[in-house]
Structure 1
Amino acid sequence: RLDKQKELKELLLAIKIRETSKWADFGLANSVEKEILNWLNSRIKEVPKKYSESDIYSLRSGAVLYFRAYEIFGDKNYLEAGLNRADLILKAQWSKGHWPWGTRLGENFVRIQDGFNNEPFWIMLYAYKLSGNKKYYESAKRCADVLLSLQRKNGGWPDQWSFNGKYSGHSGVIKGVSFNDNATNSCVQMMIAMFHMTGDKKYIARLTKLGEFVEKSKMGEGDVTGWCEQYNDDGSPSRARQYEIELPYPRALTRGVGPLLIWLYLMDGDEKHMNLLKRAYAWHEYVRKEEIKPEVIEQWRQMSRKWSPSHHSMTQNYLMEYRPGWPDAYLPDGSNWGRVLNFRLMLWNPVTPVQKKKYDRFIDHSWPPVERLAVMASANQPPPRDYNMYVHCHSSIGNSLSEIRRALLEHKRGGRAGMIKYYSNPTKYASDQYLQARVDAAKRALNLRNRRMAYPFKARPGYTGMAAMKDFNFLGSKSRWYGKVGTKWGAAFQNIYPASNVTWYQWQFIYDMKLAHGEIDSDSAARGGRGFETVASQTHLDSWDVLGEWGMATIEMENYFDVPLD
């Protein structure tokens, strides 16, 4: 302990030297903190009049950011600003317990996926945690109760619901189960939250059934292991949209089934969940290895060089190169794969007579294989149907296996106990833990890359620091913080200027400075385990992250998976 105290003292001295020396970063922390506070202070009273249209996202994000600012800076004006926004969200809640789905659809309709209910739910619990006002807790409970009433007998949830049976005018399964866009997963998270808060087992009564449904609904022949996006109640695949048909999708694994299998295993300890996850991962790896063959990589690069749109460039992936292993969907026998559009699979590899006969209704028979597309691109021909590289790279840009890979690694290292340890974190640090947290924070605050990425280059074009933010919607970038650079993910690993996420580097830098100096106490620094990960659903946010899993942190627990599934 004495050695650790000495290390902290030396680190704090090094910080002081950098912050007070003109040869280094004179006044950097003061400058960055002032920029954050000025921005927050200037928008305290800019509250939309009601929870509707584009103001929905501003209200949600504003509430979360002011709540977190209150926890970090201690200014009660920020708590009040967050509660004012939470009150508008609460006011919009329908009497049944759900929140509006657009302005045209009334209380009869429920949109379960896409954050329409789970995001307000967690904001209500955040408001309750900080204010102690029961009205926010009751609001969250009403939301959980109405969604519990919509749970299917098999344990899952659909994309949407209509209480009187009228058609909403929107696609998405109604009488069935959806693994698309967090429909089922978000409801599982809410049910677990309410179980922990109430102790009422009604919220978790059908989760074992959900595990059975996941196993039953698995698609694929032989080694192929995957799931489609939507299902009928009997486990048969269903189509919902022109790009979501009855085929196994990698993104159904990363965004839906994969996390569910991890959570179920951590709760009930049944190895069948991990075995199923291993099989799904192994199939994904098989496809990836097939696609990293040099000749295949070169074909994709020929297409990228000619068909990448200039207006859709991405940091360190300006050619928009396809990531091997990430087609939209596979044929169930694993013999081919590609992109789904217009209810048809545009296959990457040449279509065989057997495939044509077996899967005729799923295949886009007029679409050329990648080897032919590469020849067309090399000859400076335009892409068929004007489909540029974004069309081909849609799934590879928007998916990450980080969560699944890490879970499998921890399982290999230490079984279920090792996984639970990884997913757990204290709700209050012991003195030695707090000392270590301060040392780690000081090291992050001294890291040259972190300091450089947080630097307020306000006079330079392309600056994306706090002063340049037009609204609160930068909150959303945190869900893609850790992941592969050159995709939608990987914002934390950008290392060239101008980066698109300077704002979060600035928040992290100030948080680390305050923690290193002991201005954030041991209770506030420890916010519980990562749990069911409401923010980064395919990647992870570390326990020291300035925002962290703020949804789970509304109910601070060391281990969220202590749930008695029958």
Structure 2
Amino acid sequence: MMDQYIFPQRLFALIILIIFVVFNLPSRANDMGLVYDAKIGQYKDLSYDALSGKGLTWKARAQLFGGDTVHYESLTDRQRIEKQEELKELLLAIKIRETSNWADPGLADRVEAEILNWLDAQVADVPKKYAEADIYPLRAGAVVYFRAYEIFGDKKYLEAGLNRADVILKAQWPRGHWPWGTRLGENFVRIQDGFNNEPFWIMLYAYKLSGDKKYYESAKRCADVLLSLQRMNGGWPDQWSFNGKSSGHSGVMNGVSFNDNATNSCVQMMVAMFHMTGDKKYIARLALLGEFIEKSKMGQGDVTGWCEQYNDDGSPTRARQYEIELPYPRALTRGVGPLLVWLYLMDGNEGHMHLLKRAYAWHEYVRKEEIKPTVIEQWREMSRKWSPSHHSMTQNYLMEYRPGWPDAYLPDGSNWGRVLNFRLMLWNPVTSAQKKKYDRFIDHSWPPVEKLAVMAAANQPPPRDYNMYVHCHSSIGNSLSEIRRALLEHKRGGREGMLKYYSNPTKFTPDQYLQARVDAAKRALDLRNRRMAYPFKANPGYTGMSTMKGFNFLGSKSRWYGRVGTKWGAAFQNIYPSPSVSWYQWQFIYDMKLAHGEIDPASAARGGRGFETVASQTHLDSWDVLGEWGMATIEMDNHFDVPLNNN
């Protein structure tokens, strides 16, 4: 009788155990981290549920998720003593390396001298006019000298930055915007492509460092004119004409653009002016933008995406010959994705994250379809035969298509491909149903990838002379790091976890400062960092600061992290000579100064990363030498403390 009773008990316990194991398999898989398939060169699963940073190398983590935010907590008495001892040991190790012939004698002195000599040589070379080829040197030069002043403390660098800012300020139209080329006058405003937001942030940087109100007033005039151009739905167009005359350039005027930072840059400026003035007029219609994004989404079933330009009613429209009324992955990475993250961090509406997760899930579905071995091999065959040598971006010298990155999808998700000449060149064979449903969008004469691969294998030239750059345009020109990081932090800790990632103090406490110095000392001792910063001046091809022609090196920070083989990932270009040497040199000197206490607690902590005006589609580390200098012009722990729901 007792045996009969025990058996069902054991059976019941076994069933419970099996259920527990089965239902915990996903979490156990997540605990193991992401699985990388070296044969196809892809992660097997990057879905929201699979996202994890566990077990990843620094390079793998930074490629997938961008830079880290480091938070320092208070220390116990024992921990403080241990950290002080650790710092002492690290500083001694630095001294040994810097003074020993077997190591790197005088490395820091040599690198710092190289940076300062270069800066000194450019001080007086200020372009006279903010126009054409001198626009970027003026902008970048102002930023570089302002940051140099913050790090090195020499007032001549502040003056050099202000001299450049003054030339930019002089070019500002009375209405508040900046010129768009030399042919178009004050009547025209180019909102996208940095024509206004970049001067805006430089004015705020100049104001922060000088205290001169003229720079603040300049930034405010710019924000005010752009506020007047905001659409009633909360977004912004690509361009504007005050008298209605055509500019002769493509881009929506009476509508909303998610292309090339048009709407996003204006949101950043509006939030900045709200924080500086407290005036809610700047944020009054931002909440409507979330409604517009929801209304304007495209796709049927699981397909969730956006095109790049819209009419005011949310209907899609076209602009350039590769921007038509279809959902684009790059509209997610460049426009809608960051907007949804920002809106969520401001108002806490989970609907924004739900929409972001749906769009990301569709992108991941397409990626998984394209990492099938047969598809991978077809693309590789095309890469081997049709890669242009002058466009090579990978270490194997091939221009390779990255799975999941067509230009656009058909709205029902049945096919996707590259858009040129206002037509979609489909990757997969075109069905009769697709022809009937989407005839006006399809390039009917373009062969599918499976046929292109056969042509490549037979050493035939590509149709229309379209080399691999045509196929890889979106895959090398976009990064999901920014969005993937937001999803990772959301998965880890919800909105609170995301806010923590985007936030940081404006001044370190003594305990935080001690820990920051320890970390800086570790970076300064890291052999890779020292190797990347080393001044190989006598070697052919050296690319350190002394070789920089102008200020173009500033731009690499916008794409510092991200996937190698794309326009991103400058941090990983470590085959000598690397074009990133200059920033490794700046970082090395910054870390040396911080480790030795030469950068004070207030200067070392610059506030949260906020809306990120520097990193594009990725993130810089919170300790980066350049960092989010735009957001740092308004130093705040949390830039998302914006009352969108209380206007």
Q: Shorter-chain-normalised TM-score: which range?
A: over 0.9
Structure 1 residues 287 and 143, CA gap change in structure 2 (3 angstroms): same
- Whether the 8 Å CA contact 1:63–1:86 is kept in 2: the answer is yes
Deviations 1:306-325 (A, max 9, x none): 10011111142520111100
The aligned amino acid for 1:49 is K
The alignment-based identity, stated in percent, is 89
- 2:490 corresponds to 1:411: yes
The aligned amino acid for 1:97 is G
Q: What aligned pairs does 1:293-442 form with structure 2 within 5 A after superposition?
A: 293-316=372-395, 318-442=397-521
- 2:526 corresponds to 1:526: no
Comparing 36-45 with 536-545, greater Cα deviation is found at 536-545
Question: Aligned to 2:632, which of 553, 562, 566?
Answer: 553
TM-score normalised by length of structure 1: 0.99
- Whether the 8 Å CA contact 1:113–1:183 is kept in 2: the answer is yes
Residue of structure 2 equivalent to 1:34: 113
Query: C-alpha separation between the residues in 1 aligned to 2:163 and 2:394?
Result: 37
Query: C-alpha separation between the residues in 1 aligned to 2:552 and 2:268?
Result: 23
- 2:558 corresponds to 1:479: yes
The aligned amino acid for 1:445 is A
Query: C-alpha separation between the residues in 1 aligned to 2:602 and 2:232?
Result: 41
TM-score normalised by length of structure 2: 0.87
Residue of structure 1 equivalent to 2:196: 117
- 2:226 corresponds to 1:147: yes
Residue of structure 2 equivalent to 1:544: 623
- Whether the 8 Å CA contact 1:320–1:389 is kept in 2: the answer is yes
- 2:404 corresponds to 1:290: no
Residue of structure 2 equivalent to 1:239: 318
Query: C-alpha separation between the residues in 2 aligned to 1:457 and 1:291?
Result: 43
Give the SS at the match of 2:275. helix
Comparing 154-163 with 494-503, greater Cα deviation is found at 494-503
Query: C-alpha separation between the residues in 2 aligned to 1:27 and 1:359?
Result: 66
- Whether the 8 Å CA contact 1:20–1:26 is kept in 2: the answer is yes
Relative contact order higher in (CA < 8 Å, ≥ 6 apart): 2
Q: Which has the larger radius of gyration?
A: 2
- Whether the 8 Å CA contact 1:15–1:446 is kept in 2: the answer is yes
Query: C-alpha separation between the residues in 2 aligned to 1:106 and 1:495?
Result: 45
Q: What aligned pairs does 1:221-300 form with structure 2 within 5 A after superposition?
A: 221-300=300-379
The aligned amino acid for 2:349 is D
Deviations 1:177-228 (A, max 9, x none): 0000000000000000000000000000001110100000000000000000
Q: What aligned pairs does 1:440-451 form with structure 2 within 5 A after superposition?
A: 440-451=519-530
Question: Aligned to 1:201, which of 262, 268, 280?
Answer: 280
Residue of structure 2 equivalent to 1:97: 176
Give the SS at the match of 1:417. helix
The aligned amino acid for 1:227 is W
List runs of 5+ in structure 1 lacking aligned partners. none
Deviations 1:79-137 (A, max 9, x none): 00000000000000000000000000000000000000000000000000000000000
What's the Cα RMSD here?
Answer: 0.7
Q: What aligned pairs does 1:2-17 form with structure 2 within 5 A after superposition?
A: 2-17=81-96
Residue of structure 2 equivalent to 1:169: 248
Question: Aligned to 1:508, which of 558, 572, 587?
Answer: 587
The aligned amino acid for 2:360 is Y
Question: Aligned to 2:568, which of 470, 474, 489?
Answer: 489
Query: C-alpha separation between the residues in 1 aligned to 2:451 and 2:317?
Result: 32
Give the SS at the match of 1:515. helix
- Whether the 8 Å CA contact 1:449–1:495 is kept in 2: the answer is no
Residue of structure 1 equivalent to 2:65: none
Residue of structure 1 equivalent to 2:187: 108
Residue of structure 1 equivalent to 2:260: 181
Deviations 1:44-69 (A, max 9, x none): 00000110001000000000000000
The aligned amino acid for 1:34 is A
The aligned amino acid for 2:582 is T
The aligned amino acid for 1:456 is P
Question: Aligned to 1:133, which of 212, 230, 246?
Answer: 212
Report the CA distance between 1:167 and its aligned residue: 0.6
Q: What aligned pairs does 1:51-62 form with structure 2 within 5 A after superposition?
A: 51-62=130-141
Residue of structure 2 equivalent to 1:80: 159
Residue of structure 2 equivalent to 1:220: 299
Query: C-alpha separation between the residues in 2 aligned to 1:42 and 1:544?
Result: 28
Query: C-alpha separation between the residues in 1 aligned to 2:276 and 2:559?
Result: 29
Give the SS at the match of 2:132. coil
Comparing 309-318 with 464-473, greater Cα deviation is found at 309-318
Deviations 1:438-496 (A, max 9, x none): 11111111111111111111222222211111001211111000111121101112232
Deviations 1:397-442 (A, max 9, x none): 0111111111111111111111111100000000111111111111
Give the SS at the match of 1:16. helix
- Whether the 8 Å CA contact 1:317–1:487 is kept in 2: the answer is no
